[in-house]
């Protein structure tokens, strides 16, 4: 149930350790929303993230752009090598690992794409805004 997951998020510690041991080079939890936390990851790594909105896993009836600007998911955004096995991850942890985009040199920046076209999204939660 989505309400239960919202009220009682799972810290993905075991999953993060597994990913790090298999070559993940950066990761962040999505507590402030994908649109904000992706920029934090890009800034810390000096890269550009290209995220495909159509690849996002969303709840029925929730538009991907709205989901990307949300927050409190506490799922992980991970930069990992292409050869990382999503099947092995799912077998180990019982949850899917979804590829939602690419990491490019240069930045920091985040580009959200819908059907190959760039889309501007509102930022997620900002702890330092008035």
Residue 111 · residue 38 · CB < 8 Å: no
Give the pLDDT mean for 22-45: 93
Q: Which pLDDT tens digit goes with each residue over 65-108?
A: 777 767 667 889 999 999 999 999 999 999 999 999 999 999 99
Degrees to nearest 5, angle at CA 8 with 27 and 29: 10
Strands 109-114 and 47-52: parallel
Q: Please, what are the domains in the chain?
A: 2-119 (3.90.650.10)
Confidence check: pLDDT of 48 > 90: yes
> Which residues, in sequence order, are CB contacts of 56 under 8 Å at separation 6+?
34, 64, 67, 68, 98, 100
In this prediction the pTM is 0.84
């Amino acid at each position: 149930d989505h309400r239960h997951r919202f009220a009682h998020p799972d810290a993905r510690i075991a999953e993060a350790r597994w990913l790090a041991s298999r070559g993940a080079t950066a990761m962040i939890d999505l507590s402030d929303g994908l649109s904000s936390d992706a920029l934090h990851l890009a800034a810390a790594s000096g890269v550009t993230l290209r995220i495909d909105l159509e690849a996002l896993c969303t709840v029925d009836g929730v538009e991907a752009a709205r989901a990307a600007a949300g927050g409190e998911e506490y799922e992980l955004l991970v930069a990992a090598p292409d050869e990382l096995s999503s099947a092995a991850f799912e077998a180990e942890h019982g949850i899917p690992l979804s590829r939602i985009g690419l990491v490019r040199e240069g930045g920091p920046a985040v580009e959200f794409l819908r059907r190959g076209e760039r889309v501007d999204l509102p930022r997620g939660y900002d702890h330092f805004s008035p």
